[in-house]
């Protein structure tokens, strides 16, 4: 039996306030992209029902 490596524990980012402020618009854009996905078109793990409905292409 093969042993699997234990996943590393997440580490805090320790970001400066300036870095956090610059990241907010990027995160907001990503959230908007994810909200546009119609989860009803997902047929298999990681695949969308049709390329036409795929906002990631």
Average of pLDDT values for 34-53? 73
DSSP 49: S
| Phi, psi angle pair for 3, to nearest 5° | -85, 140
Average of pLDDT values for 29-47? 85
> For the chain, what is the mean pLDDT?
82
pLDDT-derived band at 4, boundaries 50, 70, 90: confident
Beta strands in 1-57 (DSSP E): 42-44, 47-48
Closest Cα partner for 39 from 23, 55, 27, 16?
A: 55
Identify which has the larger pLDDT, 35 or 56: 35
pLDDT-derived band at 55, boundaries 50, 70, 90: low
- Widest CA span in the chain: 48
Please give the model's pTM, rounded to 2 decimal places: 0.52
């Amino acid at each position: 039996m093969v042993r699997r490596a234990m996943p590393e524990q997440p580490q805090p980012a320790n970001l400066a306030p300036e870095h956090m402020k610059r990241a907010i618009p990027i995160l907001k854009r990503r959230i908007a992209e994810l909200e546009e996905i119609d989860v009803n078109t997902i047929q298999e793990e990681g695949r969308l029902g049709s390329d036409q409905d795929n906002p990631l292409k």
